[in-house]
Amino acid sequence: MRERATPWMANIDWDNCENVSQMLTKEIHAYAQFISPTPEEHETRRLIVQLIRNAITGDFPDAQLFTFGSFETRLYLPTGDIDLVVMSSIMEQYSSIKLLLSKLASSIRRARISHDVEIIAKAKVPIIKFVTSYGHISVDISVNRPGGVAASTMAKQFMEEIPAIRPLVLVIKNFLKQRNMNEVFSGGLGSYGILCLVTSFLQLHPKIRRSKIDPMDNLGVLLIEFFETYGKHFNYTDIGISLRNGGLYFRKRDRGWAAADRKSIGSILCIEDPRDPLNNVTSGSFAFHRVKQTFAGAFEVLTAELCLRDTERESKANGTYYSLRAEGSGDVGRSLLSGVTGITQEVEPLLPPRAQSDNLFFADDGSKERNH
């Protein structure tokens, strides 16, 4: 297992928490604040977008460049890419998409934004792909495909209506990324699919629908219930998910989304595109059964850690607690989330100054400290 640091733990105060679920909620808030892009990070990416815009409009004067996806919603992780789409009437006149993408790639190279631009012309959505010379940020550019922009607008509306979407998506997104299950091309669950799944979960949660709980005050319980619902109990064979009209479920066979062989579709997730009821957002997630199993594992890990911590708290209150860890080894600041997510050593050097804490608790045993 690769070491995963938990630097967001540095300033968490658990003294006023009444139970372990409150502790987990506080940690999720701290994690989301830590992993979210800083203003400086976002400004760097915005400037890169402007450089790309200048390069493209120099060759295609009518071109308009739009951001979408995680950059637009600010749900990107430190190593996240930038998704862009160019809208241009001039580009529509090209008879060959490969020729057009080659011209676009030349614009990027000539502006010295990147020297190595990959052309992917035969994909479902043709793109050029590159890593910027400045900042080393991955960028994907498509042409005349406005769907992503509309999806980002809708995603921001959902997040404005339900603020708890954001911290839960950030935890789950990094959780899947560290297990290589966050890319649709490899059958995983992509960023938009994660956002839709979290949105549906919160829309249809009975206590939230009846205003019995404030989601932002109950993120710990909600994260565990999310993993339990989609890892253990959800009926993927028969049921599809819709975000329309406040959220609902539907029978997959009514949409023609159920396979004749039920065994082959048993763990396949179907989420109706909020903008197009005929489109299944997660149709490309052919390996979702692996995601489902991983969600189930996360539920087991989190519940076990919370039970252990609850027992420790009770023992401390009774004066019967004795730690087997070495003194000063970080027992008090041990992360609850570390079993499912963290900051890998590969990612840590890419983080801005906010990540530089005097001690970082590692996920291997929850107690190891690292000094910078």
Say whether pLDDT at 219 is over 70: yes
The CA-based diameter of the chain, rounded to the nearest angstrom, is: 78
What is the distance between the alpha carbons of residues 298 and 256, in angstroms, rounded to a whole number? 32
- pLDDT, one tens digit per residue, over 8-26 is 988 788 888 899 999 999 9
Say whether pLDDT at 68 is over 80: yes
Q: Encoding tokens for residue 150?
A: 């509309």
Strand partners, 112: none
Considering the entire predicted model, what is its pTM?
0.87
What is the distance between the alpha carbons of residues 234 and 311, in angstroms, rounded to a whole number? 30
Chain centroid to CA 24: how far?
Answer: 19
pLDDT on residue 15 = 80
Mean pLDDT on 126-143? 96
Task: Find the length of the chain.
Answer: 372
- Residue 184: band (very low, low, confident or very high) from pLDDT cuts 50, 70, 90: confident
What is the distance between the alpha carbons of residues 248 and 322, in angstroms, rounded to a whole number? 49
What is the distance between the alpha carbons of residues 252 and 239, in angstroms, rounded to a whole number? 5
pLDDT on residue 332 = 46
pLDDT on residue 268 = 86
3-state secondary structure of 66: strand
- pLDDT, one tens digit per residue, over 253-308 is 988 887 644 444 444 899 999 989 888 999 889 899 999 999 999 999 999 999 99
pLDDT on residue 90 = 95
pLDDT on residue 297 = 97
Q: Are 337 and 6 in contact (CB under 8 A)?
A: yes
Mean pLDDT on 220-243? 96
Say whether pLDDT at 248 is over 60: yes
If you average pLDDT over every residue of the chain, what do you get?
87
What is the distance between the alpha carbons of residues 354 and 30, in angstroms, rounded to a whole number? 12
pLDDT on residue 312 = 83
What is the distance between the alpha carbons of residues 89 and 227, in angstroms, rounded to a whole number? 45
What whole-number percentage of the chain has pLDDT above 70?
85
Mean pLDDT on 351-371? 41
Q: Encoding tokens for residue 313?
A: 């708290």
DSSP H or E run through 85: strand 82-87
Secondary-structure breakdown of the chain: helix, strand, coil percentages, each rounded to the nearest 5: 50, 15, 40
CB burial of residue 299 (10 Å; 0-12, 13-18, 19+): buried
What is the distance between the alpha carbons of residues 133 and 127, in angstroms, rounded to a whole number? 19
pLDDT on residue 314 = 79
Say whether pLDDT at 366 is over 50: no
Mean pLDDT on 166-190? 94
Q: Are 77 and 35 in contact (CB under 8 A)?
A: yes
Q: Are 345 and 3 in contact (CB under 8 A)?
A: yes
Domains identified in the chain and CATH numbers: 4-36+154-293 (1.10.1410.10), 39-150 (3.30.460.10)
pLDDT on residue 347 = 63
DSSP H or E run through 227: helix 219-228
Mean pLDDT on 326-354? 67
Mean pLDDT on 47-63? 97
DSSP H or E run through 158: helix 147-161
pLDDT on residue 145 = 94
3-state secondary structure of 98: helix
pLDDT on residue 336 = 93
CB burial of residue 138 (10 Å; 0-12, 13-18, 19+): middle
Say whether pLDDT at 323 is over 70: no
What whole-number percentage of the chain has pLDDT above 90?
69
3-state secondary structure of 248: strand
Which region among 45-59, 121-135, 311-325, 356-370 has the lowest average model confidence (pLDDT)?
356-370
